[in-house]
């Protein structure tokens, strides 16, 4: 992990209230799933009062919609009910959130364009940085044009990444 990421995580660990924004392209598959996975882990750890958790998309195709039905079905099989309503990421998110986590390099590049200042850029940490290296993924692949295995892979990667994220910040 980069030095600046370690510094950000260190600062966050000391805060009583923390906020995280997960970001993908459509905000109907990967990022609402990340939000749901992380929320469930935070609740299981009894830390729900310490966290503000949300997700957003860099695109605007699905604003107001619930997550993709396929993502909801796969998440439900793991006991997660995804009820987020799609929204687009905006400049104010860089004030409102401590850490902003894109799912892939395109999301990261688009987020960097929205960031209002050089300091804001330091809040961006790709999800793959938290995923177990043994899973051999350096991004969370877009499942939108994939079959069931694509959605399962996303969830497996997100469980790994969210678990590490929470342990690094607790």
Number of residues that make up the chain: 170
Which residue number, 18 or 67, has a Cβ lying nearer to ligand 4NP? 67
Q: Does 161 bind ligand 4NP (CB under 6 A)?
A: no
Beta carbons within 8 Å of 65's beta carbon, 6+ residues apart: 28, 85, 86
Which member of 20, 22, 26, 42 binds ligand 4NP (CB under 6 A)?
26
- Residue 110 burial (CB count, 10 A): 16
Q: Among this protein's residues, is 142 annotated catalytic? A: yes
Beta carbons within 8 Å of 131's beta carbon, 6+ residues apart: 137, 140, 157, 160, 161, 164
Supply 25's token pair.
């392209």
Q: Among this protein's residues, is 50 annotated catalytic? A: no
Q: Among this protein's residues, is 30 annotated catalytic? A: yes
Q: Does 25 bind ligand 4NP (CB under 6 A)?
A: yes
Which residue number, 18 or 39, has a Cβ lying nearer to ligand 4NP? 39
Q: Residue for token digits 């804001």?
A: 120
Region near ligand 4NP per CB under 6 A, out of 4-12, 26-34, 35-43, 158-166: 26-34
Range 59-118, binding ligand 4NP (CB under 6 A): 61
Q: Which residues bind ligand 4NP (CB under 6 A)?
A: 24-30, 61, 142, 144
């Amino acid at each position: 992990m980069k030095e600046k990421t370690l510094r950000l995580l260190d600062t966050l660990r000391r805060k009583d209230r923390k906020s995280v924004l997960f970001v993908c392209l459509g905000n109907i598959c990967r990022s609402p799933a990340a939000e749901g996975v992380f929320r469930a882990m935070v609740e299981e750890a009894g830390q729900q009062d310490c966290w503000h958790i949300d997700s957003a998309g860099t695109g605007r195709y699905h604003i107001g919609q619930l997550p993709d039905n396929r993502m909801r079905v796969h998440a439900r099989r793991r006991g997660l009910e995804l009820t987020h309503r799609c929204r687009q990421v905006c400049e104010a998110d860089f004030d409102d959130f401590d850490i902003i986590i894109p799912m892939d390099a395109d999301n990261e590049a688009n987020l960097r364009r929205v960031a209002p200042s050089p300091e804001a850029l330091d809040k961006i940490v790709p999800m793959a940085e938290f995923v177990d290296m043994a899973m051999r993924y350096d991004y969370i692949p877009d499942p939108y044009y994939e079959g069931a295995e694509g959605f399962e892979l996303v969830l497996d990667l997100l469980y790994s990444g969210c678990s590490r994220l929470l342990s690094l910040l607790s």
